[in-house]
Chain A
Amino acid sequence: MFDTLTSRFETVFTRLRGRGRLSAADVDAALREIRVALIEADVNLDVVAGLTERIRRRAVGEELSRALNPAQQVVKIVLSELTTSLGGERLAVNYASEPPTVVLLAGLQGSGKTTNAAKLAQWFLRQGRSPLLVGADLQRPAAVEQLRTLGERAGVPVFSHRRGPVKAASASRAEATRTGRDVVIVDTAGRLAIDSEMMDQVRRISVAVRPHYTFLVVDATAGQDAVNSAKAFHDTLALDGVVLTKLDGDARGGAALSVKEVVGRPIAFASVGEKLEDFEPFHPDRLASRILGMGDVETLIDKAESAFEAEQATETAARLLEGTFTFDDFLATMQQVLGMGNLRSLMGMMPGVPRELRGADVDEGRIGRITGMIHSMTPQERAEPDVIDASRRQRIAAGSGCRPSEVKALVDQFKQMRSMMKGLGGLGGKRTAASRARSSKQASRPGGRSSASKRRGAGGRTTPKGPVPASKAPLTLPGLEKGEWPGLN
């Protein structure tokens, strides 16, 4: 049901395409799909109502553009509305003139406070700060042990106090001063927003430690109720921002939009994986397209960048577009793709993958057979699959323990795929050059390395931007430009 969301969007917009004018009926048809998408993405009903109303106003009122067809125009409006709602004001961490700068993390049970306290600590470490982790969760068994282990992994000391969470928090400032740490991150116990006793406790912790920043840790898989708890935490603690966790699953993360709307504070960080480094400043545009089920191209590209060898991938892609892609290239690429994780979830992240493919359950055992078949080919056969005749098929089949018909299917499909990709090369040649230019522009945009070096001189002020992977610059891909939806132009 959820997998077909992209397709349903596509269906509506396919119908819309080519009519040239955006009527109220067109907008309503699109709005229905948008509404469904938002509700299925766990955006709170009240927020959905407000959003679709804003989108309607903008869409119907907007002058028809010559450059875009109606579908593109609606998509552009929706994406930009969501991006604006999610983004807006960004959180800039201003370090206290009199250290330490204190950060308090609060949230429901299991939202990921302890893990993200450590991730945040490591982020501060990367900013050139020396953080101290404070374990104020004495509720959950072994929570402080967990924090200690994580702190050790991150290379950050951990402070706690047996005499209770409030005591631990209030003593932490002195501890930081004594040990020369300039950032204090306080991890608190998970609590329900309706538990008045526990909410009072976190309020007392907050009073004791006087945080400069209070973050609510929100789980991306959260449902309709996220707004209620977020509001309660905001009322108690006056939040400064949100840390969005568990974006490594396939939850659409609509709760983040709801929380942002109701609390009105920026989403500062996003946690995208289990490793301590999988933590980065939040990208509103990425979540906007994810909520709409339009595929998360940028996350996919990030994953790809970490799995692929830059130069090799560029060469492979060039051969793919020229139509000289070989079985050897295919094998190498496949190994890297598998390194990126589950094929099916990868395809889910790609916008524009046809519905038949997106739904297909890729049996990974199949991949073993494909590998076997390719390994049974001679170098010549791998480079020029055309030479594979019936007798060679027999040999390859015998060598890999498959049937000749399977070998035939593989070779045929491979050739088909190759010619399909070659066609793509012809289509996209110019764009590629254009995009290269764009990508180099992106690599030098503010927030990259340049700002990191500027920061040191500028009195310790920084914006929460992640590190730019240095060696991967030529591979950096531009995001979708504002309002540009792949496949619609």
Chain B
Amino acid sequence: MTLELLAVLAAVAVAALAVAVTATVVCRRRRSAAPGAAGSETAAGEAADRVVGRLAGRAAEAAGGPAPSLRDRLSKARAAFAGPLTALERASTSTEAWTEVTEALIRADVGLATSSEIVEAARARAGGAGGDPTAVKAALQAELRERLGGFDRSLARRSDGACPSVWLFVGVNGTGKTTTIGKLAKREADAGAGVVLAAGDTFRAAAADQLAMWAERSSVHIVRGSAGADPASVVYDAVESAAARGADLVLADTAGRFHTEHNLMAELQKVRRVAGKGSGVVTETLLVLDATTGQNGLAQARQFTDAVDVTGVVLTKLDGSAKGGIVVAVQAELGVPVKLVGVGEQVADLVPFDASEFVEALFS
């Protein structure tokens, strides 16, 4: 209580100050933070040292002068990109080999801390065989598979089938929520489910039109509100409509929102609450994450999980050159598994997540 209260008071006071006094004055008061670097942070720092240090050395070698041409270096990186671990074969020492795989993980957006943690674990797993590139790769992949494996990735439905199950789709702007729902609607309808779409994105211009086109493609019913309508009421209506029609599945779209927007997150909580209030039950809350997302994906997953209890991740746009490695960190930290993967624009391009394939693709 005390700390929280002080936090509120200080935030208000400091914000008031920030408006009228210079930032410099505000920050004079800065207390020096207690040194508290945890062991893992140090490990991450060391990993960064090694990975970047080696890259810098290479670049200096190649360019021999200041400001080496980055484009050249990147085109090399792109060539190496076809197989980030090809250089592994040339690694002469064990440290070099492990640095190589750390680099590959970071480039796949796994993140510095998670990468160095995984590499440490894989290293322990490999034991004395550390110097051999094949063994390094095998140990790393085994470690990753183990970390990613062992989750129930099925999409839950209400077991008795008495009333509609609701799958709620959440995420930041532009990750592909509406498209994912469109594809899933087609898939589930083709499999014989009675599907109703809820156009819960009443904010983005023409979002409901976009979903309506998908509904048409798969001949399923859609419930939409007017622009700016309360999304919770739209979802509620969709659930009731599904119950009346005897449909068993409601796919509920929501407007993209940043996890930092408190009011929008509160709105989302309301949508989730209301979706389960009437005849339906929310059986899945799926966070849609874009494979091109970097480290912010973890913050997104954290906040959405806090707010609406995310049950699974849909990783979209994995057909590009981005690897979507952030889901490794998401699953490690939050225990939320990836359930579906989007690998293209066609309906058939939404597929179940396969840990082995994903691990293979991280290094291909």
Give the B-binding residues of A (Cβ under 8 A).
Answer: 1-2, 4, 6-8, 10-11, 14-15, 32-33, 35-36, 39-42, 44-50, 52-54, 57, 108-112, 139-143, 145-150, 153, 192-194, 219, 221-229, 231, 246, 248-252, 254-255, 261-262, 264, 274, 297, 300-301, 304-305, 308, 313-314, 316-318, 320-321, 325, 330, 333-334, 336-337, 340-347, 350-357, 360-364, 366-367, 370, 406, 409-410, 413-414, 416-417, 420-421, 424, 427-428, 431-432, 435, 438-439, 475, 477-480, 484, 486-487, 489
Distance of A59 Cα from B248 Cα, bound (Å)? 65
Determine if B294 and A350 form an interchain contact, defined as CB atoms under 8 angstroms apart. Answer: no
For chain B residues 249-278, which have a beta carbon within 8 Å of chain A? 258-263
Distance of A54 Cα from B261 Cα, bound (Å)? 37
Determine if B49 and A223 form an interchain contact, defined as CB atoms under 8 angstroms apart. Answer: no
Determine if B49 and A32 form an interchain contact, defined as CB atoms under 8 angstroms apart. Answer: yes
9 contacts between A and B (CB under 8 A): A11-B35, A228-B78, A261-B70, A262-B74, A304-B19, A413-B5, A414-B9, A428-B25, A477-B18
What's the nearest-Cβ distance from chain B to residue A105, in Å?
14
Determine if A45 and B106 form an interchain contact, defined as CB atoms under 8 angstroms apart. Answer: yes
Contact pick for B296, options A46, A252, A274, CB 8 Å: A252
Residues of B in contact, count (CB < 8 Å) = 110
What's the nearest-Cβ distance from chain A to residue B218, in Å?
12
User: Which stretch in B54-62, B89-97, B118-126, B187-195 binds the other chain?
Assistant: B54-62
Determine if A224 and B174 form an interchain contact, defined as CB atoms under 8 angstroms apart. Answer: no
- Of B107, B258, B296, chain A has the most CB atoms within 10 Å of the CB of B296
Determine if B292 and A246 form an interchain contact, defined as CB atoms under 8 angstroms apart. Answer: no
Beyond A45-B103, A342-B262, A435-B21, whether A193 also contacts B320 by CB under 8 A is yes
Contact pick for A487, options B28, B109, B262, B299, CB 8 Å: B28
Determine if B30 and A42 form an interchain contact, defined as CB atoms under 8 angstroms apart. Answer: no
Contact pick for B261, options A140, A149, A341, A363, CB 8 Å: A341
Determine if B17 and A410 form an interchain contact, defined as CB atoms under 8 angstroms apart. Answer: no
Nearest residue, chain B, Cβ from A363: B4
Distance of A69 Cα from B34 Cα, bound (Å)? 20
Determine if A413 and B6 form an interchain contact, defined as CB atoms under 8 angstroms apart. Answer: yes
User: Which stretch in B141-149, B199-207, B239-247 binds the other chain?
Assistant: B199-207
- CB neighbours of A141 from chain B (8 A): 182, 209-210, 213-214
Contact pick for B210, options A142, A336, A413, CB 8 Å: A142
- With an 8 A cutoff between CB atoms, is B12 at the interface? yes
- CB neighbours of B25 from chain A (8 A): 424, 427-428, 431-432, 435
Determine if B33 and A355 form an interchain contact, defined as CB atoms under 8 angstroms apart. Answer: yes
Kindly supply a per-residue 1/0 record for chain B positions 1-44, scoring 1 wherever the CB is within 8 Å of any chain A CB and 0 otherwise: 11111111111111111111111111111111111110001001
Distance of A439 Cα from B23 Cα, bound (Å)? 12
- CB neighbours of B259 from chain A (8 A): 249-250
Beyond A246-B172, A342-B262, whether A301 also contacts B7 by CB under 8 A is no
Determine if B49 and A146 form an interchain contact, defined as CB atoms under 8 angstroms apart. Answer: no
Determine if B7 and A42 form an interchain contact, defined as CB atoms under 8 angstroms apart. Answer: no
Beyond A10-B32, A146-B210, whether A39 also contacts B22 by CB under 8 A is no
Majority secondary structure, B binding face: helix
Distance of A336 Cα from B77 Cα, bound (Å)? 49
Nearest residue, chain A, Cβ from B54: A49
Distance of A10 Cα from B297 Cα, bound (Å)? 25
- Apart from A262-B70, A475-B19, list 17 A-B contacts with CB within 8 A: A2-B298, A7-B36, A14-B33, A39-B48, A50-B68, A139-B345, A193-B320, A224-B106, A229-B320, A313-B20, A317-B16, A320-B17, A342-B260, A362-B8, A367-B8, A484-B24, A486-B30
For chain B residues 71-97, which have a beta carbon within 8 Å of chain A? 71, 73-75, 77-78, 81
- CB neighbours of A420 from chain B (8 A): 29
Beyond A221-B296, A225-B322, A352-B29, whether A477 also contacts B22 by CB under 8 A is yes
Beyond A252-B296, A431-B22, whether A219 also contacts B174 by CB under 8 A is yes
Determine if B294 and A254 form an interchain contact, defined as CB atoms under 8 angstroms apart. Answer: yes
What's the nearest-Cβ distance from chain A to residue B72, in Å?
10
Q: Which 10 A-B pairs give the minimum distances between C-beta atoms? A: A223-B294, A110-B174, A486-B27, A352-B30, A317-B20, A42-B294, A149-B205, A342-B262, A428-B25, A435-B22
Determine if A330 and B52 form an interchain contact, defined as CB atoms under 8 angstroms apart. Answer: no
What's the nearest-Cβ distance from chain A to residue B130, in Å?
23
Determine if A354 and B18 form an interchain contact, defined as CB atoms under 8 angstroms apart. Answer: no
What's the nearest-Cβ distance from chain A to residue B266, in Å?
8
Contact pick for B299, options A250, A350, A489, CB 8 Å: A250
What's the nearest-Cβ distance from chain A to residue B186, in Å?
13
Determine if A370 and B30 form an interchain contact, defined as CB atoms under 8 angstroms apart. Answer: no
Contact pick for A308, options B8, B11, B19, B317, CB 8 Å: B19
Contact pick for B320, options A57, A108, A364, CB 8 Å: A108
- With an 8 A cutoff between CB atoms, is B290 at the interface? yes
Determine if B112 and A40 form an interchain contact, defined as CB atoms under 8 angstroms apart. Answer: yes
Kindly supply a per-residue 1/0 record for chain B positions 312-347, scoring 1 wherever the CB is within 8 Å of any chain A CB and 0 otherwise: 000001011111011000000000000000000100
Determine if B26 and A352 form an interchain contact, defined as CB atoms under 8 angstroms apart. Answer: yes
Distance of A450 Cα from B73 Cα, bound (Å)? 43
Determine if A340 and B52 form an interchain contact, defined as CB atoms under 8 angstroms apart. Answer: no
What's the nearest-Cβ distance from chain B to residue A212, in Å?
24
- CB neighbours of A489 from chain B (8 A): 24
Distance of A313 Cα from B298 Cα, bound (Å)? 36
Contact pick for A427, options B8, B28, B78, CB 8 Å: B28
Determine if B299 and A351 form an interchain contact, defined as CB atoms under 8 angstroms apart. Answer: no
Determine if B108 and A221 form an interchain contact, defined as CB atoms under 8 angstroms apart. Answer: no
Distance of A109 Cα from B256 Cα, bound (Å)? 14
Determine if B19 and A305 form an interchain contact, defined as CB atoms under 8 angstroms apart. Answer: yes
- Of A7, A325, A416, chain B has the most CB atoms within 10 Å of the CB of A7
- With an 8 A cutoff between CB atoms, is B164 at the interface? no
- With an 8 A cutoff between CB atoms, is B295 at the interface? yes
Determine if B19 and A343 form an interchain contact, defined as CB atoms under 8 angstroms apart. Answer: no
Contact pick for B12, options A225, A252, A337, A353, CB 8 Å: A337
- CB neighbours of B176 from chain A (8 A): 109-110
- CB neighbours of B285 from chain A (8 A): none
Nearest residue, chain A, Cβ from B42: A32
- With an 8 A cutoff between CB atoms, is B175 at the interface? yes
- Of A111, A330, A352, A414, chain B has the most CB atoms within 10 Å of the CB of A352
Determine if B19 and A317 form an interchain contact, defined as CB atoms under 8 angstroms apart. Answer: yes
Distance of A354 Cα from B71 Cα, bound (Å)? 40
- CB neighbours of A421 from chain B (8 A): 13, 17
- CB neighbours of A54 from chain B (8 A): 66-67
Determine if A318 and B112 form an interchain contact, defined as CB atoms under 8 angstroms apart. Answer: no
What's the nearest-Cβ distance from chain B to residue A339, in Å?
10
Distance of A248 Cα from B14 Cα, bound (Å)? 21
Determine if A320 and B5 form an interchain contact, defined as CB atoms under 8 angstroms apart. Answer: no
Determine if A40 and B8 form an interchain contact, defined as CB atoms under 8 angstroms apart. Answer: no
Determine if A221 and B293 form an interchain contact, defined as CB atoms under 8 angstroms apart. Answer: yes
Determine if B294 and A224 form an interchain contact, defined as CB atoms under 8 angstroms apart. Answer: yes
- With an 8 A cutoff between CB atoms, is B231 at the interface? no
- CB neighbours of A353 from chain B (8 A): 10, 14, 30
Distance of A353 Cα from B23 Cα, bound (Å)? 12
Distance of A361 Cα from B1 Cα, bound (Å)? 11
